[in-house]
């Protein structure tokens, strides 16, 4: 971590840190803005709410903040359906509020990463409205992907492709044509072969870069390039998302997508320090490095730990493979245990493993929560393992991406009434997949109050009673709370970061032990019996130690 000692420049939007490598080992905190803090009491979190919590973020000790989309949106997909890429949703504030938020973060030495959604806009975007009003074959339609249908009178979709959220990936418009939407019907896919689309996004990247943002998170980075040469292949002949290895899929992970990012990189490098970017790319691990190339986006999410069971062998394999890949590309590795799309890790680790042969979601646990209940959740075990996994992750070389609420040890909220669910995956499945609302429930800041201190009004998703004891102000008073555990870990991590190296110590089926340069050691006991702690003085631990023994499901740091 690099913390500038230079005085703040006159315009606090200009980040004082000029280190071009600030991102390599940063702890990045993801904010889901509509559920973080509601300053105006309308039940939706907003940008002034984020600004008011900058002291909290500073005390937490994160290096950067990544808010999920805050742009104008009908919220058909939690804001990933963008109406206007260069504005703020009026319910969340204004561009002035954005500037205030950026200034407050930068004033506290915290970087700002914004979320760019280039694969699709919302169906309310001016360009899509224009396309609907324009005839077949018009320039306005060519910014999106329109096709004639098949079957009698073109009444059937152009292909059998399924949307990621369920149902057909094609939607028919009144004149009979169909448009492609890999996600919800309210999210039409752009046609990236159209130079206007390319220019538009370069302008958007410049707009936010000029406004002082430090980097970008690129949504569905692996889907922009498409080859829709007819006849369109049947989905049964296509490899599933994340499994293709030859770049030959019509829309996932095509090689040409990197031409787009090479252009973006030139733009990023015009700034000082260069703007950073991290790809959200659910691709085969062997192809992830292409997104992380220094000539491209520079970094790519590795979701391997997030998909893994709490298992020493699996963790070691994932860590070794990703560090090797990072070394080969020149990027630093990324680590993620939770985000706004998956079941929170405290809950995942407290659930029994999925039965062999069951359909697993991206987080591996959809089957358990699909009933909207928690049949066998062991909350205590889940949190204990989550703290152990987090401490291990924070000792790894590379950037750690944290998701709001994990520092409070929050569990997934399963008991949301169906009528209050918002996620399109729930409506398009329909109802089979309970969706992602359970990890997006507004944060509890105080033990009481109309929305546990989230705001003065009723939170837009219902908060469960157990949020009270997990609230920030309650945890601040408890030295052993998960919040104070994160604060100490991040503070120590910030001081210790050295070269991006790690040496494994010993090998055991149920213990992972490694040393970072400077002598910082991390040891995790994944087994069921206590193990002896190595030589050294204990710096931090995820649970109380038992004398010189490391209990099960516990990580300790030693010097």
Nearer residue to ligand NOJ within complex by CB, 78 or 361: 78
How many residues line the site for ligand NOJ (CB under 6 A)?
A: 10
Contact residue for ligand NOJ among 60, 117, 218, 312 (CB under 6 A): 117
| Residue 156 Rama label (left phi>0; alpha psi -120 to 50; beta) | beta
Q: Which helix (H) or strand (E) holds 503?
A: strand 503-504
Q: Which helix (H) or strand (E) holds 154?
A: none
Contact residue for ligand NOJ among 180, 220, 297, 300 (CB under 6 A): 220
Contact residue for ligand NOJ among 100, 241, 304, 341 (CB under 6 A): 341
Is 412 a binder of ligand NOJ (CB under 6 A)?
no
Nearer residue to ligand NOJ within complex by CB, 163 or 276: 163
Is 183 a binder of ligand NOJ (CB under 6 A)?
yes
Is 80 a binder of ligand NOJ (CB under 6 A)?
yes
d(CA 98, CA 211): 9
Q: Would you say how long the chain is, in residues?
A: 559
DSSP string over 193-208: TSHHHHHHHHHHHHHH
Nearer residue to ligand NOJ within complex by CB, 219 or 363: 219
Contact region for ligand NOJ (CB under 6 A) — 75-83, 98-106, 477-485, 533-541?
A: 75-83
Shortest CB 404 distance to ligand NOJ, Å? 14
Site for ligand NOJ in 142-161 (CB under 6 A): none
Nearer residue to ligand NOJ within complex by CB, 78 or 438: 78
Is 219 a binder of ligand NOJ (CB under 6 A)?
yes
Shortest CB 169 distance to ligand NOJ, Å? 13
Nearer residue to ligand NOJ within complex by CB, 201 or 526: 201
Q: Which residues of 173-196 are buried (b: 16+ CB within 10 A; e: fewer)?
A: eeeebbbbbbbbbbbbbbbbeeee
Q: What torsion do the CA atoms of 76, 80, 81, 85 make, to the nearest 10 degrees?
A: 150
d(CA 282, CA 295): 20
Among the listed residues 219, 241, 280, 412, the single catalytic one is 219
Contact region for ligand NOJ (CB under 6 A) — 4-12, 77-85, 322-330, 379-387?
A: 77-85
DSSP string over 410-449: PPP-----GGG---HHHHHTTSSS--SGGG-SPPP-SSSS
Contacts of 195 (CB under 8 A, 6+ apart): none
Binding mask 415-434 for ligand NOJ (x = CB under 6 A): --------------------
Site for ligand NOJ in 467-526 (CB under 6 A): none
d(CA 323, CA 306): 16
Is 77 a binder of ligand NOJ (CB under 6 A)?
yes
d(CA 79, CA 98): 16
**8 A C-beta contact, residue 475 and residue 482:** yes
Q: Is 109 exposed, middle or buried (0-12, 13-18, 19+ CB in 10 A)?
A: middle
d(CA 36, CA 324): 36
Contact residue for ligand NOJ among 46, 253, 280, 366 (CB under 6 A): 280
Return the residue nearest ligand NOJ (CB atom): 80
Binding mask 354-393 for ligand NOJ (x = CB under 6 A): ----------------------------------------
Contact region for ligand NOJ (CB under 6 A) — 48-56, 74-82, 221-229, 444-452?
A: 74-82
Phi first, then psi: give them for residue 111, nearest 5 degrees. -80, 165
Nearer residue to ligand NOJ within complex by CB, 43 or 118: 118
Active site residue 280: no
Shortest CB 512 distance to ligand NOJ, Å? 29
Q: What angle do CA 322, 299, 282 make, to 5 degrees?
A: 70
The residues with which 503 forms a beta bridge, in sequence order, are 515
Among the listed residues 19, 270, 324, 501, the single catalytic one is 270
Nearer residue to ligand NOJ within complex by CB, 288 or 387: 288
Contacts of 199 (CB under 8 A, 6+ apart): none
d(CA 216, CA 347): 29
Active site residue 270: yes
Shortest CB 142 distance to ligand NOJ, Å? 22
Nearest to 333 by CA among 25, 80, 20: 25
Shortest CB 424 distance to ligand NOJ, Å? 8
Binding site for ligand NOJ (CB under 6 A): 77-78, 80, 117, 183, 219-220, 280, 340-341
Catalytic residues: 219, 270
């Amino acid at each position: 971590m690099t913390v500038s000692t230079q005085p703040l420049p006159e315009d606090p939007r200009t980040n004082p840190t000029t280190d071009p490598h600030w991102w390599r080992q940063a702890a990045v905190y993801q904010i889901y803005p509509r559920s973080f803090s509601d300053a105006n009491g309308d039940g939706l979190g907003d940008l002034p709410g984020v600004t008011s919590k900058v002291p909290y973020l500073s005390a937490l000790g994160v290096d950067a903040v990544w808010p999920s989309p805050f742009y104008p949106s009908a919220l058909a997909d939690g804001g990933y359906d963008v109406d206007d890429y260069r504005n703020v949703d009026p319910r969340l504030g204004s561009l002035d509020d954005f500037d205030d938020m950026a200034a407050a973060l930068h004033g506290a030495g915290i970087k700002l990463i914004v979320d760019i959604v280039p694969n699709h806009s919302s169906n309310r975007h001016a360009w899509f409205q224009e396309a609907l009003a324009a005839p077949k074959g018009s320039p306005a339609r060519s910014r999106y992907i329109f096709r004639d249908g098949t079957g009698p009178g073109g009444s059937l979709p152009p292909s059998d492709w399924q949307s990621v959220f369920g149902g057909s990936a094609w939607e028919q418009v009144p004149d009979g044509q169909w448009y492609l939407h890999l996600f919800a019907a309210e999210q039409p896919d752009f046609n990236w072969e159209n130079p206007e689309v390319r220019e538009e996004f370069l302008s958007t990247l410049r707009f936010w870069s000029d406004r002082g943002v430090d980097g970008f998170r690129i949504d569905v980075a692996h889907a922009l390039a498409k080859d829709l040469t007819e006849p369109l292949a049947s989905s049964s002949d296509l490899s599933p998302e994340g499994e293709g290895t030859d770049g030959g899929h019509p829309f996932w992970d095509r090689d040409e997508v990197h031409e787009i990012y090479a252009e973006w990189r030139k733009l990023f490098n015009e700034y000082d320090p260069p703007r950073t970017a991290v790809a959200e790319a659910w691709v085969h691990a062997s192809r992830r490095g292409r997104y992380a190339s220094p000539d491209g986006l520079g970094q790519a999410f590795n979701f391997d730990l997030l998909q893994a069971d709490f298992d020493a062998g699996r963790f070691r394999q994932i860590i070794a493979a990703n560090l090797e890949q990072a070394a080969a590309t020149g990027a630093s590795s990324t680590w993620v245990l939770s985000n706004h799309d998956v079941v929170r890790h405290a809950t995942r680790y407290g659930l029994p493993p999925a039965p062999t042969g069951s359909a697993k979601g991206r987080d591996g646990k959809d089957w358990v929560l699909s009933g909207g209940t928690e049949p066998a959740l062991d909350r205590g075990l889940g949190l204990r393992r989550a703290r152990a996994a987090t401490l291990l992750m924070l000792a790894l070389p590379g950037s750690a991406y944290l998701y709001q609420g994990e520092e409070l040890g929050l569990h997934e909220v399963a008991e949301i009434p169906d009528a209050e669910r918002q996620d399109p995956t729930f409506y398009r499945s329909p109802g089979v997949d309970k969706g992602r609302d359970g990890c997006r429930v507004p944060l509890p800041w105080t033990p009481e109050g109309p929305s546990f201190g989230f705001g003065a009004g009723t939170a837009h998703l219902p908060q469960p009673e157990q949020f009270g004891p997990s609230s920030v102000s309650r945890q601040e008073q408890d030295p052993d709370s998960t919040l104070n555990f994160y604060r100490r870990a991040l503070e120590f991590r910030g001081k210790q970061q050295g070269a991006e190296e790690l040496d494994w110590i010993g090998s055991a089926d149920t213990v992972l032990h490694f040393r970072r340069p400077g002598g910082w050691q991390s040891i995790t006991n994944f087994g069921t019996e206590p193990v002896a702690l190595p030589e050294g003085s204990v710096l931090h631990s995820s649970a109380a130690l038992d004398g010189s023994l490391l209990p099960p499901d516990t990580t300790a740091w030693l010097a």
